[in-house]
Amino acid sequence: MHRTNRGFILLFVAVFGWIFIVRPQINLFGQRSLESKAKEVEALSYEQRVEDIGSIREKGDTFQRILTAQFLAMPQSSQIPEVLVMIESLAASSGVALGSAAIGSPSENEVPASISFSGNLSSVTSFLNALNANIRTVIVKDQTLTADPASGVLTVTMQLGLVYQGGVE
Protein backbone atom coordinates (compact mmCIF):
# COMPACT_ATOMS: atom_id res chain seq x y z
CA MET A 1 0.00 0.00 0.00
CA HIS A 2 2.85 2.19 0.61
CA ARG A 3 3.88 1.87 -3.03
CA THR A 4 0.41 2.75 -4.18
CA ASN A 5 0.48 5.94 -2.17
CA ARG A 6 3.79 6.81 -3.68
CA GLY A 7 2.35 6.21 -7.16
CA PHE A 8 -0.62 8.46 -6.42
CA ILE A 9 1.62 11.11 -4.95
CA LEU A 10 3.88 10.97 -8.00
CA LEU A 11 0.86 11.09 -10.28
CA PHE A 12 -0.55 14.00 -8.28
CA VAL A 13 2.81 15.85 -8.44
CA ALA A 14 3.02 15.20 -12.21
CA VAL A 15 -0.54 16.48 -12.82
CA PHE A 16 0.03 19.42 -10.49
CA GLY A 17 3.35 20.22 -12.23
CA TRP A 18 1.72 19.90 -15.63
CA ILE A 19 -1.19 22.20 -14.77
CA PHE A 20 0.64 24.84 -12.75
CA ILE A 21 4.20 24.78 -14.09
CA VAL A 22 4.65 23.17 -17.53
CA ARG A 23 1.45 24.34 -19.24
CA PRO A 24 1.88 28.02 -18.27
CA GLN A 25 5.46 27.83 -19.53
CA ILE A 26 4.28 26.35 -22.84
CA ASN A 27 1.70 29.14 -23.17
CA LEU A 28 4.33 31.75 -22.31
CA PHE A 29 6.70 30.24 -24.87
CA GLY A 30 3.93 30.32 -27.51
CA GLN A 31 3.20 33.98 -26.75
CA ARG A 32 6.89 34.86 -26.94
CA SER A 33 7.16 32.96 -30.21
CA LEU A 34 4.27 34.99 -31.65
CA GLU A 35 5.79 38.22 -30.32
CA SER A 36 9.11 37.23 -31.85
CA LYS A 37 7.48 36.60 -35.22
CA ALA A 38 5.63 39.92 -35.01
CA LYS A 39 8.87 41.72 -34.15
CA GLU A 40 10.61 39.97 -37.06
CA VAL A 41 7.89 41.10 -39.47
CA GLU A 42 8.08 44.62 -38.03
CA ALA A 43 11.88 44.63 -38.42
CA LEU A 44 11.53 43.55 -42.06
CA SER A 45 9.01 46.34 -42.57
CA TYR A 46 11.45 48.87 -41.12
CA GLU A 47 14.26 47.54 -43.31
CA GLN A 48 12.00 47.97 -46.36
CA ARG A 49 11.21 51.52 -45.25
CA VAL A 50 14.92 52.29 -44.94
CA GLU A 51 15.49 50.91 -48.45
CA ASP A 52 12.55 53.00 -49.72
CA ILE A 53 14.00 56.12 -48.09
CA GLY A 54 17.34 55.41 -49.80
CA SER A 55 15.56 55.02 -53.12
CA ILE A 56 13.61 58.23 -52.57
CA ARG A 57 16.84 60.02 -51.65
CA GLU A 58 18.50 58.82 -54.88
CA LYS A 59 15.50 59.99 -56.90
CA GLY A 60 15.58 63.30 -55.05
CA ASP A 61 19.29 63.71 -55.82
CA THR A 62 18.61 62.97 -59.49
CA PHE A 63 15.72 65.42 -59.50
CA GLN A 64 17.93 68.03 -57.81
CA ARG A 65 20.60 67.60 -60.52
CA ILE A 66 17.94 68.02 -63.22
CA LEU A 67 16.59 71.16 -61.54
CA THR A 68 20.11 72.57 -61.23
CA ALA A 69 20.76 71.92 -64.92
CA GLN A 70 17.46 73.59 -65.83
CA PHE A 71 18.26 76.51 -63.55
CA LEU A 72 21.58 76.94 -65.34
CA ALA A 73 19.93 76.56 -68.73
CA MET A 74 17.33 79.23 -67.94
CA PRO A 75 19.05 82.12 -66.19
CA GLN A 76 17.37 84.83 -64.19
CA SER A 77 16.70 88.10 -66.01
CA SER A 78 19.71 89.69 -64.31
CA GLN A 79 21.91 87.01 -65.90
CA ILE A 80 20.93 87.72 -69.52
CA PRO A 81 24.13 89.72 -70.14
CA GLU A 82 26.06 86.60 -69.14
CA VAL A 83 24.33 84.73 -71.98
CA LEU A 84 25.59 87.35 -74.44
CA VAL A 85 29.10 86.98 -73.01
CA MET A 86 28.72 83.23 -73.51
CA ILE A 87 27.69 83.82 -77.17
CA GLU A 88 30.72 86.10 -77.67
CA SER A 89 32.98 83.44 -76.16
CA LEU A 90 31.52 80.71 -78.39
CA ALA A 91 31.97 82.97 -81.43
CA ALA A 92 35.59 83.69 -80.55
CA SER A 93 36.43 80.02 -79.95
CA SER A 94 34.69 79.03 -83.20
CA GLY A 95 36.54 81.60 -85.28
CA VAL A 96 33.57 83.72 -86.40
CA ALA A 97 33.56 87.50 -86.19
CA LEU A 98 30.55 88.99 -84.42
CA GLY A 99 29.17 91.96 -86.32
CA SER A 100 26.47 93.08 -83.93
CA ALA A 101 24.41 91.91 -80.98
CA ALA A 102 21.25 93.52 -79.65
CA ILE A 103 18.84 92.61 -76.88
CA GLY A 104 15.13 93.45 -76.98
CA SER A 105 12.65 93.84 -74.14
CA PRO A 106 11.97 90.63 -72.25
CA SER A 107 8.60 88.94 -72.58
CA GLU A 108 7.18 86.55 -69.98
CA ASN A 109 10.01 83.99 -70.24
CA GLU A 110 12.08 84.95 -73.26
CA VAL A 111 14.43 87.78 -74.17
CA PRO A 112 14.62 88.55 -77.90
CA ALA A 113 18.15 88.98 -79.23
CA SER A 114 19.61 89.66 -82.64
CA ILE A 115 23.16 88.74 -83.63
CA SER A 116 25.10 88.82 -86.85
CA PHE A 117 28.41 87.13 -87.50
CA SER A 118 30.58 86.10 -90.38
CA GLY A 119 33.22 83.49 -91.13
CA ASN A 120 34.07 80.64 -93.41
CA LEU A 121 31.84 77.56 -93.66
CA SER A 122 33.86 75.63 -91.09
CA SER A 123 33.83 78.42 -88.46
CA VAL A 124 30.13 79.21 -88.98
CA THR A 125 29.26 75.50 -88.66
CA SER A 126 31.43 75.23 -85.54
CA PHE A 127 29.72 78.27 -83.97
CA LEU A 128 26.21 77.02 -84.74
CA ASN A 129 27.06 73.57 -83.32
CA ALA A 130 28.53 75.17 -80.17
CA LEU A 131 25.46 77.38 -79.78
CA ASN A 132 23.19 74.34 -80.17
CA ALA A 133 25.20 72.22 -77.68
CA ASN A 134 25.46 74.95 -75.04
CA ILE A 135 23.63 74.49 -71.73
CA ARG A 136 21.84 77.84 -72.04
CA THR A 137 18.57 77.54 -73.93
CA VAL A 138 18.56 79.63 -77.10
CA ILE A 139 15.68 79.41 -79.58
CA VAL A 140 16.43 80.36 -83.18
CA LYS A 141 13.45 82.40 -84.39
CA ASP A 142 14.78 83.47 -87.80
CA GLN A 143 18.05 83.40 -89.67
CA THR A 144 19.42 84.88 -92.83
CA LEU A 145 22.50 83.59 -94.59
CA THR A 146 24.39 85.37 -97.33
CA ALA A 147 27.55 84.16 -99.01
CA ASP A 148 30.32 85.91 -100.88
CA PRO A 149 31.40 83.33 -103.49
CA ALA A 150 34.65 85.16 -104.22
CA SER A 151 35.95 85.14 -100.63
CA GLY A 152 33.98 82.17 -99.26
CA VAL A 153 32.77 84.28 -96.33
CA LEU A 154 29.32 83.55 -94.96
CA THR A 155 27.37 86.28 -93.15
CA VAL A 156 24.60 85.13 -90.83
CA THR A 157 21.97 87.21 -89.10
CA MET A 158 19.88 85.45 -86.45
CA GLN A 159 16.86 86.43 -84.40
CA LEU A 160 17.04 84.49 -81.13
CA GLY A 161 14.91 83.97 -78.08
CA LEU A 162 17.00 83.65 -74.94
CA VAL A 163 14.90 81.62 -72.51
CA TYR A 164 15.08 82.80 -68.91
CA GLN A 165 13.17 82.33 -65.66
CA GLY A 166 10.65 85.06 -66.33
CA GLY A 167 11.66 87.67 -63.82
CA VAL A 168 12.18 85.33 -60.87
CA GLU A 169 14.94 86.94 -58.84
Domain annotation covers residue 136? yes
CA atoms 32, 38, 41, 46: torsion sign? negative
pLDDT at 12: 80
pLDDT one-digit tens code per residue, 38-88: 788 888 888 888 888 888 888 888 878 877 776 666 666 666 677 778 888
Q: Do 156 and 81 share a structural domain?
A: yes
Q: How far apart are CA 157 and CA 101, in angstroms?
A: 10
pLDDT above 90 as % of the chain: 22
- What is the separation of C-alpha 149 from the centre of its chain, rounded to a whole number of angstroms? 49
Of 7 and 104, more confident: 104
Domain of 147, CATH number, reads 3.30.70.60
Rounded to a whole number of angstroms, the CA Rg of the chain reads: 40
User: Which of 19, 48, 73 lies at the terminal end of a domain, its last residue?
Assistant: 73
Q: Do 108 and 68 share a structural domain?
A: no
For the whole model, what pTM was predicted?
0.54
Domain annotation covers residue 168? no
CB 87 within 8 Å of CB 102:
no
